[in-house]
Amino acid sequence: MKITTAGESHGKALIAIIEGLPAGLTLDLEEINSYLALRQSGYGRGGRQKIETDKAEILSGVRNKVTLGSPVTLAVYNRDYENWAECMAPEGCDTSLRRLTKVRPGHADLTGIKKFNVQDARNILERASARETAVRTAAGAVCRQFLKALGVEITGYVRSVLTVKDEREYSFEEIANKRLPELFMLDKHKQEEAVALIDRLKAEGDTCGGVAEVRVKGLKSGFGSCMTYAQKLDARLCGALMSVQAVKGVEVGIGFQAAERRGSEVHDEIFAAEGEYIRKTNRAGGIEGGMSNGEEIVLRAAMKPIPTLMKGLNTVDVETGKAARAAAERSDVTAILALEVILESVVASELAAVVCERLGGDNVSEISERYGRLPS
């Protein structure tokens, strides 16, 4: 299975094409749109979310709500395009309008200008923008429905916002049912502290990131491989997480803590119980030797602060070569809740591809039957 996205932040639409999705999967468009709405929510978001109300439209690959086995095409239209058509229209436009030459530190602007040999960072930022994740979220919501048909579920929450950290460990059920809407944290007092911090940063024209955790429940053992590095499940999932804009670090299980503990405090001991092999701990995060081991998959990603600050950072105007202050292209203080939703989607997309590669099959019934015969 393969997912390709296209589109610009202020272009006509964002598009995703899902190739290899099996036939016979009933899709719930309202559920897809519910994840798009979640992606636009969260404390600390800016004005763009008031302009756009994201809805997905299915353009191909589905008939009467059921997948056909042909490529599924999704579109998320940009309502703001009408305000940008004069400088973004592919049929012809005035590219002198809304130029961006005061390149922003932390963005793709300067590197993209040099790589693609242009003088206007608009050509770069329109694609590099995290707006692209809207259609990735929609595609991931489709893949989530495929995984759910096999009994695989995904959830997640926000562990920290800047220095406000929740160190407590939670069960899958607690995360799925008790996360708080403003920031997807689970501890009310920690979230209140985080909200107050975001308010202070907004007043100062500054931004922040955080850490989000994703959990996967119900994936059987043996997905991924120890035989080639390209097939290692942790490598693929970490690559998917790192592909999301603003993610700068990824962990599996206890992650970097493993470097600070003895071996006896890191590896999950194996026991026999009623003919089954069990682990009483899950420090490996559900992946051993590049393969799922049947335990919950635990992934964490660190989001850097949004690099567009309202007060601007020191930079250079590439048109004049003179010192300048970076332009404020967007006004979020943080988008950590949105990141968590996006991470769930990219994990769902990568896992759906891994499942299809191992099990094959042209329709959901066939794949489900094969999945049911696998050992836990």
CA atoms within 13 A on the CB side of 223: 29
C-alpha to C-alpha distance for 178 and 254, rounded to whole angstroms:
23
Is the Cβ–Cβ distance between 280 and 251 less than 8 Å? no
- Pairing of β 276-279 and β 322-325: unpaired
C-alpha to C-alpha distance for 231 and 167, rounded to whole angstroms:
32
CA atoms within 13 A on the CB side of 295: 22
Q: Nearest CA to 169 among 291, 258, 253, 43?
A: 253
Per-residue pLDDT of the chain (376 residues; tens, 9 = 90+): 999 999 999 999 999 999 999 999 999 999 999 999 999 999 999 765 566 689 999 999 999 999 999 999 999 999 999 999 999 999 999 999 999 999 999 999 999 999 999 999 999 999 999 999 999 999 999 999 999 999 999 999 999 999 999 999 999 999 999 999 999 999 999 999 999 999 999 999 999 999 999 999 999 999 999 999 999 999 999 999 999 999 999 999 999 999 999 999 999 999 999 888 999 999 999 999 999 999 999 999 999 999 888 888 999 999 999 999 997 756 799 999 999 999 999 999 999 999 999 999 999 999 999 999 999 8
At 49 the pLDDT is 58
**Which pTM does this prediction carry?**
0.96
At 46 the pLDDT is 77
- Pairing of β 314-317 and β 164-165: unpaired
Domains by residue range for the chain, with CATH? 2-372 (3.60.150.10)
- Neighbour tally for 368: CB within 10 Å: 17
Structure tokens at 7: 């589109």
CA angle 88-93-95, nearest 5°? 75
How far is Cα of residue 124 from the mean position of the Cα atoms in its chain? 20
DSSP-based three-state secondary structure for 156: strand
Residues facing residue 317 across a β-bridge: 102, 322
DSSP string over 261-289: S-GGGTS--EEEETTEEEES--TTTTEET
C-alpha to C-alpha distance for 342 and 144, rounded to whole angstroms:
12
At 127 the pLDDT is 97
At 311 the pLDDT is 83
At 50 the pLDDT is 61
- Pairing of β 247-252 and β 314-317: unpaired
C-alpha to C-alpha distance for 244 and 157, rounded to whole angstroms:
16
Over residues 326-345, the pLDDT tens digits come to: 977 567 999 999 999 999 99
DSSP-based three-state secondary structure for 136: helix
